[in-house]
Amino acid sequence: MELRAYLRACRRRWLWLVVPVLLAAAIAGGLTVAAKPAYQSSMILFVSAGTGDPDAEARRLNSYIALLTGPRVAQGVVTKLGPEQVTADQVRKSLAAQVSEGTDLLQISATDPSAAKSRAIVTTAADVLVTLAKQIAPANPADGGPAPNISVLQDAETVRQPSNLARNAGFAAVLGLLIGAIAVAIREAAGRTVAEEDDLRRLGLGTVGVISLDGRDGRGDHPDQALAEAFRRLRSLLPAITDGRRGNPRGRALMLAGSGRKEGTTAISCGLAIALAETGARVVLVDANLRSPGVGRFLSLDPVPGLAEVLSGTAHVPDVLRESLNGRLTVLPAGEHVPDPGGLLASPRLPATVRTLTERFDVVLVDAPPLNGPADAAVLGAVTDSALLVVRANKTRTADVERSLELLEKIGAKVAGAVLNALPRKLPTGHAWAAAAQVPPAELLIPLDEPDQPDAPAPVSTPPAPRTPNGVVRGRARVVKAALAAGEDEPAEPEEPEKGE
């Protein structure tokens, strides 16, 4: 993983770093505070090696340190203090010794929760060491000089050791940060997701556009206009779709599909259809997700016959078309629920239906089911001119995108590119949506949440007025700055239909 990609992953998963740091610091601080206080008693001994050889003196000092921390001195301390007071293992763990650099001074210390016991251990250990040094020292040195000697230069002094709360918490925080960083790296390696356009380019997939609000968080000054411009940019980057009948007696059919559920395919389909309709092109939006239809919910369409009835042979295409945006956008709903959507889409009537639509309209947008699921999307991709892959930012895994591209390649579908959906997972609904002011017809309005999400509330918009005979749909959801700030979640109360509709 590149450093930039890793830093982006850490920024996205900052909680994975903060939580281990806080937990580790809290645990270390709690253990430090709850631990019993420790007391350290220290003595300083003067060692006379009895020779002028510095190397010999250093070796003798090291020998005394090894003797002091060894089992013989520990057993001697237990013999003098009594086994009921202390054990040999406790003595060895509590005793420590070091030589003051450049001197013949040996500093010994003992640490214990009891101040009296630490003092008794270090004093007794010094007496045992002095006795042992006399026993192992030669009676008549070969060089005729004085015999080695150990004398107490400073009696035991006992102090309480500091708790080291800050040090322990700091070390624990660093350890927690390291654990969090490793967890982020493992998570990215195991389930890497698409976060931005560069990730798609590395997969060999060109990005047609990015659909997001200001700063990708919906807190811009004009979220309506920002979202509208995002779909207009997407429209401008699809010139082959808006060519209409120029040099071709048929329109063009574009399938929009995601790798899995909750990619926001229906939201992108509705927004792109409305943006294309603004240009004056004749656009039809087909809800081909017969298993979990969503276009009708986005555009406030009542349950009516649609594609399912056409494919089953009980209705004709002109009879089930519904108009929106004052007739500039036509919708072909999914229709009634059917027990076998896959078998219905495999019907020979599907290519004929798409051909009929391309003969009547300039652009046919097909809102398709997920690619990495049943074979519905594969069947639709085989009868459309091209496919646009919808990718949810920070959710869609790169492995799922690769599998989707392989599937499209196998069925011979032409990939028009990918659109990165960076819209929020959930947007507020309720009174703030219903109370929004009416918007001029030229302004682009789309609902933003994906209706096929079982854990997300259905988008609530201004309830549609009763439909006129020509089937014009008047109700749609819009992005409202006040709603984004309010964060309401309760459903909107239905309004009274206007008179005269």
- The residue extents of the domains of the chain are 3-35+165-190, 39-160, 197-486
Residues 6+ apart with CB under 8 A from 117: 85, 86
Would you state the pLDDT for residue 425? 54
- Determine the average pLDDT of the residues in 406-425: 84
Distances (CA, A) of 354 to 83, 371, 382, 447: 95, 19, 11, 26
Q: Is 22 a residue whose pLDDT tops 70?
A: yes
Would you state the pLDDT for residue 184? 86
Residue type, 57: E
Distances (CA, A) of 341 to 104, 367, 377: 93, 14, 11
For domain 197-486, is the CATH number 3.40.50.300?
yes
Would you state the pLDDT for residue 8? 75
Percent of the chain with pLDDT over 90: 23
Q: Is 496 a residue whose pLDDT tops 70?
A: no
pLDDT tens, position by position, 162-176: 777 888 889 999 999
- Determine the average pLDDT of the residues in 298-308: 85
Would you state the pLDDT for residue 311? 93
Q: Residue 447: pLDDT band by 50, 70, 90 thresholds?
A: very low
Least confident of 138-142, 239-243, 294-298, 376-380: 138-142
Single out the residue of 452, 427, 90 nearest to residue 293, CA to CA: 452
CA 255 to chain centre: 29
Would you state the pLDDT for residue 351? 93
Single out the residue of 104, 81, 7, 2 nearest to residue 95, CA to CA: 81
Rg (CA), the chain: 40
Q: Residue 380: pLDDT band by 50, 70, 90 thresholds?
A: very high
- Determine the average pLDDT of the residues in 28-53: 79
Work out the number of other CB atoms within 10 angstroms of the CB of residue 300. 21
Strands (E), 350-397: 363-367, 386-392
pLDDT tens, position by position, 117-133: 999 999 999 998 888 88
Q: Is 66 a residue whose pLDDT tops 50?
A: yes
pTM for this predicted structure:
0.56
Helix (H) or strand (E) holding 476: none
Helix then strand then coil, in percent of the chain rounded to 5, is 40, 15, 40
CB 391 within 8 A of CB 263: yes
- Determine the average pLDDT of the residues in 442-470: 40
Handedness of CA 447, 255, 258, 213 (dihedral sign): negative
- Determine the average pLDDT of the residues in 453-465: 38
Could you give the CA distance from residue 104 to residue 50 in angstroms, rounded to a whole number?
12
Stronger pLDDT, 134 or 380, i.e. the higher one: 380
Architecture category of domain 39-160 in CATH: 2-Layer Sandwich (3.30)
List the Cα angle 8/13/19 in 5-degree steps: 140
Could you give the CA distance from residue 195 to residue 151 in angstroms, rounded to a whole number?
72
What end-to-end distance do the CA atoms of the chain give, in Å? 59
